[in-house]
Structure 1
């Protein structure tokens, strides 16, 4: 996940600008170099990591996403459940993963200062 965050575009002030349509590609070679590990180990870690990211469920109070008007008539204790990524691919032969982050996480990564 930190590799996708590192690839986020930044504005002139250094703030993260989230692009919900961006597809992130991370190669085993790139990961191995960054982590100083063997490429075969890097690929195994990437492959397992992408499965973990897809299965990790976030829970956030729905009121953090909806306005007071949108929450009107709804129970105040509603919890929104979602995964961080809504698209992922791995290639055994080419040694890379692809990941697309779910737009719902934008408030959690946009406007972060690097």
Structure 2
């Protein structure tokens, strides 16, 4: 997501209509990794974004309305030339433009050392809740947010060992966030996670639509 935002035209007042292309070379230079690793991470990130949605819960007089908006309508991978190309959906444009406007002041240098896609996803989700310093998430929503593999979704011990703990450890080292987390159970099954953290200096990447929506 961060790499895609960096490719947007900050001077444009319109939503992006052309594909956003990110090369492995650009990604590798930005994050200090080799091109092969960069392409694999780009591909994984694009696939995850293609399957992710923004979920809005809208209160009404007759109960809550739940709206799901897809980020990406198309994703193209070209291993030979080493690039990934994506088209954002029309419905996500208001969120994307608001996010891009704030991203122009985002201190990318402070998190460029992150090596794991799980660290990036955890970081982005925590930053959405920076004002409260707390993120409470249902376990199924966490799986989706982190794009966890099926084996990790079925085995919390593996999720903890290979996804949560490495991501938290890397964020502690790189971003300076002081993170404490705990699982909450319903019966014998973990059904919810609680993350408490101290706000970092980086700006919040919350996804609030423009005021006129």
TM-score (norm 2): 0.43
SS of the residue aligned with 2:67? Answer: strand
SS of the residue aligned with 2:46? Answer: helix
- The number of residue pairs the alignment matches comes to 101
Asked if 1 retains the 8 angstrom alpha-carbon contact of 2:15 and 2:94, the reply is no
Q: Distance in 1 between matches of 2:18 and 2:30?
A: 22
Structure 2 residue aligned with 1:108: 95
SS of the residue aligned with 1:43? Answer: helix
Highest RCO, 1 vs 2 (Cα 8 Å, sep ≥ 6): 1
Matching residue within 74, 83, 104 for 2:70:
83
Structure 2 residue aligned with 1:95: 82
TM-score (norm 1): 0.75
CA RMSD of superposed structures (Å)? 2.2
Q: Distance in 1 between matches of 2:14 and 2:24?
A: 24
Matching residue within 19, 24, 28 for 1:23:
19
Q: Does 1:52 align with 2:48?
A: yes
SS of the residue aligned with 2:86? Answer: strand
Q: Distance in 2 between matches of 1:18 and 1:42?
A: 30
